[in-house]
Amino acid sequence: MAAAEHNSFWPSQGAAWSSQSLYIVLAAILWSTDALLRQPLTRDLSALVIVFAEHALALIFVAPILYTFGYYLRRLTARQWAAVLFIGVAASALATVAFTASFSYVSPSVSILLQKVQPLITFGVAWFWLGERLPRHFWLWAGLALLGAYVVSFPELIPQLTLYQGGVRGIGLALLAAVLWGSATVAGRYLLRELPFLLVTSLRFMVALVFLGLLLSGGTLNSGWGQLASASMRDWLFLLVIMLGPGFGAMYLYYRGLTVTKAAVAAVLELTWPLGAVILNWFILGEHLTLGQMMGGLILMVAIGRLTLWPTVVQTN
C-alpha cells in the first residue's frame, strides 16, 4: 500500500500541510505584475528612487513587526545577521539594480530567460550550506519545470544573444541578478529555521531601505531626494500598490511558504512568475500566447503542482 501511494501521481498524504508551499506560487504571481506597475513610474522617477520609495512605504508594516519581535532581534547570531544583510543588500537592492540595468544591453526577454538558472544556483548553495538532500524523482520534475519556463519565456527556443549590442555586459548583469536571487533563497531558508517569517520579511526590507538610502544620498538632490519631493500623487499611489502587491505583500507570502519548503523546491515554484507575466501580457497588452508557450505553460504548471504536493520533497529539515 505504501509503495502504491508513493508511486501515485498525486500523493494522498502530506498534501494538507505541504500545500502551504502554494504561498510561494502566489508570491510569484504577484511578482509577475511588477513590470506593469513600475513602467508608468519610470517616466518620472529613476529605478533607485522607485525601489527606495517602495521600501520606505513598507515601514508601515516593518516597524511594528520589528518592535514586536524585539526578543529575537536581541538574540541574532553573527551568522544570522550575515544572512540578513545578504538578503537585504544583495536580493532587495543589488540584484534588482543589476536586473534592471541589463535591459539597457539586451532584450528584457533575454534577461528574464537567464533568470531560469536561479534554481540551479539555489540547488547548489542549498546542498553546500543547508545540507539539503533531494530524492532522485525531484530532478525529473524540476527539469520539466525549467523546460516549461524556458519555452514560456522564449518560445522560439534558440536565443539570438549575439544580435544585441553590448550583449555580453547585459548577460553578465542578468546572470549576476540570478546568482544573488538564487543564493538569497537559501539564506532566507536558513533564517526561517529559527526565526518567524514575519521577522525575516521585515528585516529584509529594513536592511535594504538603509542600503538604498545610502546609495540615494550618494547622488545629487535633483536625481535622488529631489525626485521624491516632486513625485505626484499618482506616483505615490502606484508605489503604494507596488509595496502592497509585488513588494512587501509578495515577500510576506514568499517567506511564509518558504518556512515549510526546501530552498531547492522554492526555486522551482518561483518559475510561476514567467507564466503569470505571459498571461498578463495577453489580457492587458494584447500579446497572445503561441502554441509553444501554451505547451510550456502546461508543462510548468504540472511540474509545479507535482512538486508542491509531494510530501517527501516539500518539507522542513
Q: What residue spans define the domains of the chain?
A: 17-308
Question: Over the stretch 171-225, which tens digit does the pLDDT of each residue have?
Answer: 788 889 889 988 988 898 899 989 999 999 999 999 999 999 988 887 654 567 7
193: left (phi > 0), else alpha (psi -120 to 50), else beta?
alpha
Rounded to whole angstroms, how far apart are CA atoms 198 and 184?
16
| 144-159 mean pLDDT | 75
The owner of cell 536625481 is 223
115-124: b (≥16 Cβ within 10 Å) or e? bbbbbbbbbe
The reported pLDDT for the residue numbered 18 is: 54
pTM above 0.85, yes or no: no
Q: Are 201 and 252 in contact (CB under 8 A)?
A: yes
Max Cα distance, the chain (Å): 69
User: What pLDDT does 274 receive?
Assistant: 76
Mean pLDDT of 128-136: 73
Q: What is the mean pLDDT of the chain?
A: 79
pLDDT at 219: 61
Question: Could you give the percent of the chain with pLDDT greater than 90?
Answer: 26
The pLDDT value recorded for residue 206 is 95
Which H or E run includes 17? helix 15-18
pLDDT at 160: 58
Mean pLDDT, residues 253-272 taken together: 84
Please state, in angstroms and rounded to a whole number, the distance separating the CA atoms of residues 15 and 31.
25
pLDDT at 3 over 70: no
- Mean pLDDT, residues 30-45 taken together: 82
Range with the largest mean pLDDT of 27-31, 105-109, 150-154: 27-31
Q: What's the pLDDT score for residue 315?
A: 46
Give the whole-angstrom CA distance, residue 175 versus residue 98: 9
Average pLDDT of 51-70?
A: 93
CA distance 197 to 253: 9
Q: Taking 90 as the threshold, does the pLDDT of residue 87 lie above it? A: yes
Which pLDDT belongs to residue 17? 41
Res 109: pLDDT: 63
Q: Tell which wins on pLDDT, 276 or 54.
A: 54
* Helices vs. strands in the chain: H and E counts, helices first: 20, 0
> What is the mean predicted confidence (pLDDT) over 134-162?
74
229 pLDDT more than 80: yes
Instruction: Please give the distance of CA 198 from its chain centroid, rounded to a whole number.
Output: 17
Ranges 27-36, 122-131, 189-198, 284-293: which has the least confidence: 284-293
Q: How far is CA 182 from the centre of its chain?
A: 8
User: CA angle, corner 155, sides to 152 and 157, nearest 5?
Assistant: 120
Which residue do the cell numbers 519565456 mark? Answer: 153
